[in-house]
Amino acid sequence: MVADLKYQRILLKLSGEALGPQGFGIDAETVRSIAGEIKRVHSLGVEIAMVIGGGNMWRGADAAATGIDRATADYVGMLATVMNSLVMQDAMEKQGMVTRVQTAIEMPPVAEPFIRRRAVRHLELGRVVILAAGSGNPFFTTDTAAALRAVELNAQILLKATKVDGIYDDDPMRNSNARKFDELSYMRALNMGLKVMDSTALSLCKDNHMPIIVFDLHQPGALEAIIRGEKCGTLVSSNIKEPV
């Protein structure tokens, strides 16, 4: 353990869209860059678990809107997360990190099944654990899977990497006057209906006192800054005093 680090074990949630140009597909250079940012904190001795979405290939809710059965669409989305996880594993191992992919749906030829105690042991041994296939259940997002795994693995914080540097009261890509929050309580985030994370994931974090930081992973050094306790992104927790 490194004494000057604020967090020793983290759950990092990446959207699938972060892996591809214009949010679609997989860009090898982008994946290598993300792996490099992760290596910076892994080399400090931080225990890292990851959940990666599949929206760059398939979005279950969108597919269901076209007439595909929602459960079927969600299972296809789970497979998309496995593909993203294997690509990320390859990039990370080429940079010297030892990784394990664990899936909520068993597929022994490509990955281990998710077993909580085995995942914890991998983390203790310094391996990065990439948790794929969501929670293994339809109707639940990978945000909810990330919240669940963070609690199961006793992570100290859930880090949600997005395209922007925190939570805003409106889409900063469309509204230049959108206001950024440095801190938010779970209840305020839920009441505002913020789209940065779904309500099931937020409620699970709230009920289990799992703090969340939303930040921009493409900002060089942001992940390391958070690990060292520097202010970066937006913190969502139960210890925030909201203005009266």
The binding site comprises: 13-16, 54-55, 59, 74, 135-142, 162, 168, 171
Q: DSSP readout, 140-177?
A: --HHHHHHHHHHHTT-SEEEEEESSSSEESS-TTT-TT
List binding-site positions for ATP. Answer: 13-16, 55, 59, 162, 168, 171
- Other C-beta atoms within 10 Å of 215: how many? 22
Beta strands at 183-185 and 234-237: parallel, antiparallel or unpaired:
parallel
Long-range contacts of residues 191-199, Cβ cutoff 8 Å, at least 24 apart: 194/167, 196/160, 196/162, 196/167, 197/143, 197/160, 198/141, 198/143, 198/144
List binding-site positions for UMP. Answer: 54, 74, 135-142
